[in-house]
């Protein structure tokens, strides 16, 4: 699936009424696999968090900050994959959502700044055979010049596109958003962090994870969103929308009210808890 195609209108379900796009790390999973590697076998938490702040404040691009993170990890790539498969856990309610989505002909598309071999390995371990029905649009991995993936310091990230994100997630959603009204499905997106900034404006309903950087961005830029803690709340909201008990506008309004009441788990620019 390329960033410009519309293949999700054909597979795994033809002409779906809804499509759910989602970030992977820290959204489907409890931990961000790239953060986990950086913190434990890379340059550490403090430098990584400073990099995230620099991206949010416009001092660095996500592309460059993320490459610095990955370049700090020297373990051979197959060892990195094994390490993550052993340590990364799935949101306890994702599989419940996913089985419901399959039963209701709703495609789920992972749109990630992670790397294909890592995501596929984790999903095979945590989701099982139905993981093959998840479309994935993400970055890749490649050997450094003159080295092999199996060598110490032998791999590097291969970005999906030339954008400042490395993978501009909005490019995956936008072709669907621009379809004529009679062909356009309702678009959902779930995310948690700085890699999701480009996708935030391209969806009908954005689910932003409680306490994470994406909420800060959405509140600052006045991007409508609703807050989620885990996939049980996502599933409940999507079920209500599909059953026409709630509109996407209603859900987004509820999310912003949650933020204003101080229940979104982040601090506003003035330092007040939100």
- Establish whether 23 is a catalytic residue: yes
How far apart (Å, rounded) are the C-alpha atoms in residues 32 and 37?
A: 9
Question: Do the bridges between strand 155-158 and strand 135-143 make them parallel or antiparallel, or are there none, so unpaired?
Answer: antiparallel
Q: Which of 15, 25, 60, 230 is catalytic?
A: 25
In SS3 terms, the chain reads as CCCCCCHHHCCCCCCCCEEEEECCCCCCECCCHHHHHHHHHCCCHHHHHHHHHHHHCCCCCHHHHHHHHHHCCCCCHHHHHHHHHHHCCECCCHHHHHHHHHHCCCCEEEEEEEEHHHHHHHHHHHCCHHHHHCEEEEEEEEECCCCCCCCCCCEEEECCCCCCCCCCCHHHHHHHHCCCCCCCCEEEEEECCHHHHHHCCCCCEEEEECCCHHHHHHHHHCCCCEEECCHHHHHHHHHHHHCCCCCHHHHHHHHHHHHHCCCCCCECCCCCEC
Closest CA to 186 of 243, 126, 260, 236: 243
- Contact in structure between 30 and 91 (CB atoms under 8 Å): yes
- Establish whether 182 is a catalytic residue: no
Q: Which of 5, 23, 39, 71 is catalytic?
A: 23
Catalytic (active-site) positions: 23, 25
């Amino acid at each position: 699936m390329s960033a410009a195609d519309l293949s999700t209108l054909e597979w795994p379900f033809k002409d779906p009424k809804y499509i759910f796009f989602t970030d992977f790390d820290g959204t489907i999973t409890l931990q961000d696999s790239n953060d986990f590697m950086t913190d434990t076998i890379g340059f550490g938490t403090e430098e990584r968090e400073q990099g995230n702040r620099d991206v949010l404040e416009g001092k660095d691009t996500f592309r460059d900050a993320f490459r610095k993170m990955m370049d700090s990890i020297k373990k051979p790539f197959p060892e990195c994959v094994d390490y993550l498969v052993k340590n990364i856990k799935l949101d306890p309610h994702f599989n419940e959502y996913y089985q419901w989505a399959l039963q209701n002909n709703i495609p789920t598309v992972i749109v990630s700044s992670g790397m294909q071999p890592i995501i596929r390995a984790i999903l095979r371990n945590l989701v099982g055979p139905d993981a093959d029905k998840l479309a994935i649009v993400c970055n890749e991995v490649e050997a450094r010049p003159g080295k092999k993936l199996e060598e110490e310091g032998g791999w590097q990230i291969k970005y999906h596109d030339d954008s400042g994100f490395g993978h501009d997630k909005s490019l995956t959603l936008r072709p669907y958003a621009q379809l004529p009204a009679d062909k356009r499905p309702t678009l959902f997106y779930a995310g948690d962090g700085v890699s999701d900034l480009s996708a935030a404006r391209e969806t009908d309903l954005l689910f932003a994870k409680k306490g994470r950087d994406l909420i800060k961005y959405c509140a600052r830029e006045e991007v409508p969103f609703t807050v989620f803690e885990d996939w049980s709340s996502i599933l409940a909201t999507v079920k209500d929308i599909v059953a026409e008990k709630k509109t996407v506008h209603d859900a987004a309004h509820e999310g912003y009210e949650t933020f204003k009441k101080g229940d979104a788990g982040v601090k506003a620019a003035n330092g007040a808890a939100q």
